[in-house]
Amino acid sequence: MVHNLSRVVAQDKHFLNIVNGRPVAALSQETITVLCPSDGLAFATIPAGDADDVDRAVRAAREAFDRGPWSRMPAFERGRLLTRLGQLIEQHGDELAALESRDTGKPIRQGRADVAAAIRYYEFYGGAADKIHGDTIPFLDGYTALTLREPHGVVAGIIPWNYPMQIMARVVGAALAMGNTLVIKPAEDASLSTIRIGELAIEAGLPDGVLNVITGYGREAGAALSAHPDVDYVTFTGSPATGTAIQQAAAANNRGVTMELGGKSPQIVFADADIEKALPVLVNAIIQNGGQTCSAGSRILIERPIYDEVAAALGERFDKLVAGPHDADLDLGAMINPAQKRRVEDYVASAAEAGIDVIARGSIDAQAPTTGYYVVPVLFGAVDPAAIIAQEEVFGPVLTLFAFDDEQEAIRLANHTDYGLVAGIWTRDGARQHRVAKRVRAGQVFVNAYGAGGGVELPFGGFKKSGHGREKGFEALYDMSATKTIIFRHD
Ligand code: ADP
């Protein structure tokens, strides 16, 4: 059944959850007010789901999984429905970009980029659904052994507020392609695009109960979902502390998890690098989405002979950066909420108090509402690698520079944090590109390039505190399924 939900949304701005193919309020009727980070003003409500709502959604997902047809449908038919959802997202692209950008405060062009990436995920996983298969294994005489890739069952996807549409797409694409059913819990600060795409999934023809969306606070809805005994697998993107809580909850049921927990990603710039090519990429890697990006390039290691030159060129660019409202489409938007703004400002204040050199600061647009959650981008130079600002994930537009003397030191500094998500290497020396790429502990390494987000076909995930398991690409399809081995005896 197709519900005409967009009209309801447009008039009332009271968004509803999706359970078993239908829009529903929270059982308690409680709501959370949605504020726009650009001006701090309310413009919508979402349901405040709690443990009862989670239970209702998990039961719907369980029934949809057990009853079929989803998990038993030919893989190409599941793929077609995902592709169809991608097409609907494309048709509603302007609406979704505007919604995402208003809900999160990100510049509208980033909202559009998120829509484009989301479409690619549904295309990719729509196409991949029937292209993943098991093996036959040479075994004893008189036997044939083979493997199947089977869905886990009910998957819980707990997603963050920084790139809701993209992260929803990578979870939904991989989980549904493999025949799982899903309960998605978006972040309380950015749930609108998830709900809207949940509505489009109904329109695309996904069977009832296959994709359920429950909004609510992390400590209520999120905690209930990760601890639910009928959830078979949990995938989470967010902070390490919340990741630990979710893993502990899932461990009580001995369920598998995929964890993507952020980073403190380095870019290493050697003296022979193409600096002109590197500069805009180095700046964008920390400014994109206001630095609220797991894979933000937040540390730049510069070979000493070019340190002053690169620091000065980055400083010039930082001086010109301007933060402002999402619809003004400036270099960066507002932070997601007042707590995040404070957190970034506290990091900056304590680094400056500790005597770390501020090379440059951007500015906030004079027209920006004073009630918005804006922060000024800051470039810190000559940072002590042990300093807090060099070690902890700020999740804001704060870039730190370090000097190094040789390749060994560059690798040591690059690996000198608890994280290991992404790294960038800038050098024209081919042998060095390979050597350094292999020795840097990061799930993705870019050479003479850097990409935060995007690249739907590229496996993504971390080492160390950045998490475990892999999302994106074909690898995610393995995380979202389990191997079953079948042994036939026929002697
Ligand atoms: P932040 O601290 O910036 O809000 P989180 O990593 O805590 O980021 O949030 C990411 C997602 O995890 C959100 O959907 C949030 O609601 C959810 N969440 C937060 N706390 C918990 C928890 N204890 N259990 C499960 N989910 C949670």
Task: Give the count of beta carbons closer than 10 Å to the beta carbon of residue 408.
Answer: 10
Measured in angstroms, how far is the CA atom of residue 469 from the centroid of ligand 1?
19
Give the position, in ligand 1's atom list, of the atom nearest the Cα of 336. Answer: 3
Q: What angle do CA 309, 311, 317 make, to 5 degrees?
A: 105
Cα–Cα distance between 184 and 157 in angstroms, integer?
A: 5
Distance 436 CA to ligand 1 centre (A): 34
Could you tell me the two tokens for 59?
């039961």
Predicted local confidence at residue 68, as pLDDT: 86
Q: How far is CA 54 from CA 164, 176, 215, 258, in A?
A: 19, 19, 9, 20
Q: Are strands 22-24 and 17-19 parallel, antiparallel or unpaired?
A: antiparallel
Count CA atoms closer than 13 A to 450's CA, side-chain side. 32
Domain boundaries, the chain: 13-261+468-485, 266-454
How many angstroms separate the CA atoms of 178 and 125, rounded? 9
- Mutate which of 158, 171, 244 for ligand 1 pocket (most atoms within 8 A of beta carbon): 158
54 lines ligand 1 (CB under 6 A): no
Q: What is the pLDDT of residue 13?
A: 87
Q: Determine the CATH number of domain 13-261+468-485.
A: 3.40.605.10
- How many beta carbons lie within 10 A of that of residue 386, not counting itself? 8
Q: Cβ(342) to ligand 1 under 6 A?
A: no
What is the pLDDT tens value at each position of the chain, 491 positions in all? 333 333 334 435 899 999 999 999 999 999 999 999 999 999 999 999 999 999 999 999 999 999 989 988 999 999 999 999 999 999 999 999 999 999 999 999 999 999 999 999 999 999 999 999 999 999 999 999 999 999 999 999 999 999 999 999 999 999 999 999 999 999 999 999 999 999 999 999 999 999 999 999 999 999 999 999 999 999 999 999 999 999 999 999 999 999 999 999 999 999 999 999 999 999 999 999 999 999 999 999 999 999 999 999 999 999 999 999 999 999 999 999 999 999 999 999 999 999 999 999 999 999 999 999 999 999 999 999 999 999 999 999 999 999 999 999 999 999 999 999 999 999 999 999 999 999 999 999 999 999 876 699 999 999 999 999 999 999 999 999 999 999 999 98
Q: CA–CA separation, 482 vs 280, rounded Å?
A: 42
Q: Write a three-state SS string for the chain.
A: CCCCHHHHHHHHCECCEEECCEEECCCCCCEEEEEECCCCEEEEEEECCCHHHHHHHHHHHHHHHHHCCHHHCCHHHHHHHHHHHHHHHHHCHHHHHHHHHHHHCCCHHHHHHHHHHHHHHHHHHHHHCCCCCCCEECCCCCEEEEEEEEECCEEEEECCCCCHHHHHHHHHHHHHHCCCEEEEECECCECHHHHHHHHHHHHHCCCCCCEEECCCCHHHHHHHHHHCCCCCEEEEECCHHHHHHHHHHHHHCCCEEEEECCCCEEEEECCCCCHHHHHHHHHHHHHHHHHCCCCCEEEEEEEHHHHHHHHHHHHHHHHCCEECCHHHCCCECCCCCHHHHHHHHHHHHHHHHCCCEEEEECEECCCCCCCCCCCCCEEEECCCCCCHHHHCCCCCCEEEEEEECCHHHHHHHHCCCCCCCEEEEECCCHHHHHHHHHHCCCCEEEECCCCCCCCCCCCECCCHHHEECCECCCHHHHHCEEEEEEEEECC
Catalytic residues: 260
Domain 266-454 in CATH 3.90.1010.10? The answer is no
Closest CA to 302 of 255, 266, 331, 355: 266
**How does strand 154-158 pair with strand 143-151?**
unpaired
pLDDT at 454: 66
Report CA(276)–ligand 1 centroid distance (Å).
39
Whether the CB of 45 sits within 6 Å of ligand 1: no
